[in-house]
């Protein structure tokens, strides 16, 4: 009873209603003489008296219900819960669905217990009657609860027939029951309640639709239900579904069905097409190392990876793959100008960036700091070597890029920290803590957290002033900084080098250009939208920006507030 006491104790003690509290506690600890109605109303009161948030209260109460079902409910826990399900709608719409899920879920751990098997069998008929009452709108439960009842009580067609026609059944009674349920299926299909319709069709073997139903399900993005219905119909419909998946480029789903139903002979190319699709998605995210591992040294897939790298304009990756897997002949057979078109992406020439300065010595650090301090607005970004091992700590931040609209500095943090951490700390405090310098970023919280994790002993990465996260001004934009750049400046960013090795020295010129572009584009986006109301930024909001741009983060890495 400790869990329930935690939920209700504070309010009970404050009201000093000890008599009621004793009744409630006793009712949960011994259900042998507690009716389903009494149990449900006490459960609702326990929820209402609770002082925790709703999710936590439901979780605690669910544990309490699980325990209570071991305390002699009559005639047994499964029958008792069905009786409770008839009471739940009387508690009000706001509680009905949540309490129903709680009650049904509480039965899962009991299904394997031998001592309750007789009650489970007896309860199936009562549960079937409840399903019929829900279908007939006699008992108002959500359709999701209906489906959950069917699954939890494993209700079969004969159980539904018993509920309709009694214990002595003729063969015709079962078929009449199927026809009776078919009418409900057709109603659910008409009202576009496809999840419930498919649940009834597959559970009770109801034949009432053809291939057009599959098309309807897919058109409504009900792919799980489409697969369940196709499996119910048999191999011929599964083949149709796979072909439709291929037509709309859903290669993962097609590949899984081909494997699940051993249809490689019918679809010999699906697995390879799926692998190609996976490599393309990884390449678009810049996860080249992961893509290389996934290719598993298969020559055709490695060639495709070379093609993707060339298409992205990532020629150093092309050279790297060709040398590692002896694919020079294949690369030479491709015409780079015909493979990729870089005009889709923004470049530094378009932004008229005058210079990229690599900073890895103290003298360069001092000069860069002086230049940056004279600016009014800068873009800030940083990069670190990706770590693709799940659950592992991210690598140390390798570089930080700071740019005006004309000049970009790329600081080698690893080397500068090794050479003179005090000078690094002093210079970056002058930048990061300057109240005269507006620092722009995209998803700043992530970058600043990572800097603090990497160089926590430096004060320069513990507090900041005048920060503005560009992402916060465009909540409706998808596609990250590249998507925002495309929306505002007319062209996106080529992100294929995002997950390259940023600890490698020297960085390639392409890596430097990529890094610089991520910082420079922030300044151009800011200048472009400032004062333009069609982008959601108005003169009147500039005061509001200033109320958000002063943010601080301490050594404990508490979340930033913008």
Q: Is residue 32 part of a domain?
A: yes
pLDDT of residue 439: 94
Poorest-confidence range of 106-115, 458-467, 527-536?
527-536
**Above 70 in pLDDT, residue 490?**
yes
Alpha-carbon torsion, ordered 363, 367, 369, 371, to 10 deg: -170
Pair (374, 304) in one structural domain: no
Q: Is residue 109 part of a domain?
A: yes
Among residues 340, 364, 383, the one where a domain terminates is 340
Edge-to-edge strand order for the sheet containing 438-441? 355-359, 407-412, 397-403, 377-384, 438-441, 467-469
CATH of residue 417? 3.30.420.10
Pair (298, 224) in one structural domain: no
**C-alpha–C-alpha distance, residues 161 and 184, integer Å:** 15
pLDDT averaged over the chain?
85
pLDDT of residue 8: 40
3-state SS class at 101 = helix
**What digits encode the pLDDT tens for the residues 246-270?**
999 999 999 999 999 999 999 999 9
Pair (331, 375) in one structural domain: no
pLDDT of residue 555: 43
Pair (355, 316) in one structural domain: no
**Above 90 in pLDDT, residue 61?**
no
Beta-bridge mates of residue 439: 378, 467
Q: Are 401 and 498 in contact (CB under 8 A)?
A: no
pLDDT of residue 42: 86
Q: Is residue 245 part of a domain?
A: no
Pair (421, 448) in one structural domain: yes
Pair (329, 358) in one structural domain: no
Pair (185, 43) in one structural domain: yes
Domains in the chain, number: 3
**pLDDT over 70, % of the chain:** 86
Q: Is residue 248 part of a domain?
A: no
Among residues 321, 340, 359, the one where a domain terminates is 340
**What digits encode the pLDDT tens for the residues 464-480?**
888 998 888 776 666 78
pLDDT of residue 415: 96
Q: Is residue 130 part of a domain?
A: yes
Q: The whole model's pTM is what?
A: 0.69
Pair (325, 364) in one structural domain: no
Among residues 285, 318, 340, the one where a domain terminates is 340
Q: Is residue 21 part of a domain?
A: yes
User: CA 105: distance to chain centroid?
Assistant: 24
Pair (330, 352) in one structural domain: no
**pLDDT over 90, % of the chain:** 55
pLDDT of residue 478: 64
Overall average pLDDT of the 220-237 stretch: 96
Pair (326, 365) in one structural domain: no
pLDDT of residue 548: 52
Pair (396, 488) in one structural domain: yes
Pair (67, 20) in one structural domain: yes
pLDDT of residue 336: 62
Q: Is residue 257 part of a domain?
A: no
pLDDT of residue 533: 52
By C-alpha distance, which of 452, 439, 440, 446 is closest to 396? 452
Q: Is residue 35 part of a domain?
A: yes
State which residues form the domain around 93.
2-229
Q: Residue 372 corresponds to which tokens in the numbers above?
A: 């940056």
Q: How confident is the model at residue 2 (pLDDT cuts 50, 70, 90)?
A: very low
């Amino acid at each position: 009873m400790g869990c329930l006491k935690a939920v209700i104790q504070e309010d009970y003690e404050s009201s000093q209603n000890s008599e009621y509290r004793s009744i409630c506690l006793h009712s949960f600890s011994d259900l042998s003489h507690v009716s389903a109605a009494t149990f449900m109303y006490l459960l609702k009161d326990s929820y209402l008296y609770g002082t925790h948030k709703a999710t936590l209260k439901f979780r605690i109460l669910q544990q309490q219900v699980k325990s209570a079902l071991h305390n002699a409910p009559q005639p047994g826990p499964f029958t008792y819960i069905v009786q409770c399900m008839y009471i739940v709608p009387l508690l009000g719409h706001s509680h009905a669905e949540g309490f129903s899920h709680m009650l049904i879920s509480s039965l899962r751990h009991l299904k394997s217990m031998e001592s309750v098997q007789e009650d489970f069998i007896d309860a199936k008929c009562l549960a079937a009657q409840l399903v019929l009452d829900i279908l007939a709108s006699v008992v108002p439960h959500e359709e999701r609860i209906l489906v959950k009842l069917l699954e939890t009580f494993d209700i079969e067609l004969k159980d539904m027939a018993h509920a309709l026609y009694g214990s002595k059944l003729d063969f015709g009674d079962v078929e009449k029951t199927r026809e009776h349920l078919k009418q409900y299926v057709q109603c659910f299909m008409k009202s576009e309640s496809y999840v419930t319709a498919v649940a009834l069709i597959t559970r009770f073997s109801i034949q009432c639709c053809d291939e057009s139903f599959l098309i309807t399900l897919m058109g409504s993005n009900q792919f799980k239900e489409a697969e369940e219905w196709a499996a119910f119909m048999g191999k011929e419909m599964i083949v149709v579904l796979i072909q439709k998946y291929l037509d709309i480029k859903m290669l993962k789903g097609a590949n899984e069905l081909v494997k699940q139903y051993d249809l490689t002979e019918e679809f010999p190319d699906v697995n390879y097409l799926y692998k190609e699709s996976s490599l393309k998605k990884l390449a678009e995210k810049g996860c080249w190392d992961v893509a290389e591992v996934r290719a598993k040294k298969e020559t055709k897939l490695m060639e495709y990876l070379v093609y993707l790298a060339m298409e992205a304009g990532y020629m150093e990756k092309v050279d790297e793959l060709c040398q590692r897997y002896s694919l020079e002949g294949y690369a030479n057979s491709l015409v780079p100008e015909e493979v990729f078109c870089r005009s889709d992406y923004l470049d530094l020439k378009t932004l008229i960036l005058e210079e990229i300065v690599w900073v890895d010595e103290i003298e360069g650090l001092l000069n860069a700091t002086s230049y940056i301090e004279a600016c009014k607005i800068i873009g800030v970004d940083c990069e670190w070597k990706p770590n693709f091992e799940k659950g592992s700590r991210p690598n140390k931040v390798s570089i930080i890029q700071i740019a005006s609209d004309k000049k970009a500095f790329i600081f080698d943090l690893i080397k500068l920290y090794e050479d003179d951490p005090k000078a690094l700390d002093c210079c970056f405090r002058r930048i990061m803590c300057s109240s005269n310098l507006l620092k722009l970023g995209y998803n700043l919280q992530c970058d600043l957290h990572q800097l603090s994790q990497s160089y926590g002993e430096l004060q320069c990465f513990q507090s900041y002033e005048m920060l503005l996260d560009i992402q916060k001004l465009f909540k409706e934009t998808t596609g990250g900084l590249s998507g925002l750049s495309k929306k505002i400046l007319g062209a996106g960013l080529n992100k294929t080098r995002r997950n390259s090795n940023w600890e490698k020295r020297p960085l390639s010129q392409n890596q430097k250009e990529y890094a610089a572009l991520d910082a420079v584009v922030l300044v151009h986006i800011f200048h472009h939208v400032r004062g333009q109301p069609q982008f959601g930024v108005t003169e009147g909001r500039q005061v509001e920006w200033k109320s958000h741009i002063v943010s601080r983060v301490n050594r404990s890495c508490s979340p930033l507030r913008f």
